Amino acid sequence: MTKPDIFVFTGTAGSGRKTMAHRLGIEINLMHVVSCTTRLPRGKERLDLDYHYISRDEFEEMQRNGNFVQSVEIDNEKYGVRTRDLENALLSGKAVYLILNREGASVIKQLYGDRVIRLFLYVDKPTVKERLESKGTEPEVIDHILNHYTEEVGYRKLCEHIFQNLDITETRNQIKEVIRTYRPEIC
Ligand SMILES: Nc1nc2c(ncn2[C@@H]2O[C@H](COP(=O)(O)OP(=O)(O)O)[C@@H](O)[C@H]2O)c(=O)[nH]1
Ligand SMILES: Nc1ncnc2c1ncn2[C@@H]1O[C@H](COP(=O)(O)OP(=O)(O)O)[C@@H](O)[C@H]1O
């Protein structure tokens, strides 16, 4: 049986995917495959750690050259994972993680099959709003996130594992337990 080595954090935006993914990534030594985006950095985001921030021209040129394993456009901003980044990370022999919306998660699943485990995180809509407001997210960004909630939440049924992220420690334990069933040697 193929050992899964690609863990995709997906789910509804604002549900805690980035928080959880980076926390577990450090804790169990998963390698982050960083996406490229045309959107500007927000808040405390760090260049090349949260995203590779590139211009639209650069992104489109890379698209024309077939550099992306998958890419999407969400509300006029482009996001994509470079094939080279994913393949290099896999060659390191470590398990990797990506944080993707449902289109990205589906493409990676189609391409890499049993190597991929999709971890779907969600909380209800009012909780998303509350968390983002308390984090100081701009109202337009919150609106954009809430507008996509319904289409995003339906994707959970296709994912291998679903987590309602109410308590961060509890969710971390649940996800770790799931990863342990596939890869006991890494956690
Ligand atoms: N398909 C795809 N989705 C991505 C990629 N990178 C990020 N995303 C997702 O695209 C959405 C970006 O929305 P944004 O409001 O910028 O959210 P944030 O970056 O998660 O704070 C999020 O759901 C991300 O998880 C990518 O390379 N491909
Ligand atoms: N279990 C949790 N309980 C309370 N707040 C959380 C929890 N998980 C994440 N958060 C907070 O919710 C906000 C959104 O989390 P983030 O990881 O940016 O979500 P996503 O990547 O899914 O959009 C952040 O302020 C984060 O600190």
Q: Which of 6, 32, 81, 100 best tests ligand 1's pocket when mutated (most atoms within 8 Å of CB)?
A: 100
Span of 15-19, 41-45, 64-68 with lowest mean pLDDT: 41-45
Q: Is pLDDT of 18 > 90?
A: yes
CB 74 within 8 A of CB 152: no
- Residues 161 and 10: beta-carbon distance below 8 Å: no
Predicted local distance difference test score (pLDDT) of residue 75? 86
Q: For position 48, what pLDDT does the model report?
A: 96
Instruction: State which of 10, 19, 130, 137 you would mutate to test the pocket of ligand 2, scoring each by most atoms of that ligand within 8 A of its C-beta.
Output: 19
The ipTM value here is: 0.96
> Per residue in 20-54, pLDDT tens?
999 999 999 999 999 999 999 988 899 999 999 99
pTM as predicted? 0.97
Which amino acids bring their CB within 6 angstroms of ligand 1? 13, 18, 35, 39, 70, 72, 74, 79-81, 99-101, 103-104, 145
Comparing CA positions, the residue from 118, 117, 119, 94 lying closest to residue 26 is 94
Q: Is the predicted pLDDT of residue 126 greater than 90, yes or no?
A: yes
Average pLDDT value for residue range 126-138 = 94
CA–CA separation, 43 vs 137, rounded Å? 8
**Ordered structural domains, the chain, with CATH:** 6-33+86-181 (3.40.50.300)
At 127, the pLDDT band (50, 70, 90 cuts) reads very high
DSSP codes joined into one string, 104-142: HHHHHHHHHGGGEEEEEEE--HHHHHHHHHHTT--HHHH
* Ligand nearest to the CA of residue 14, numbered in listed order: 2
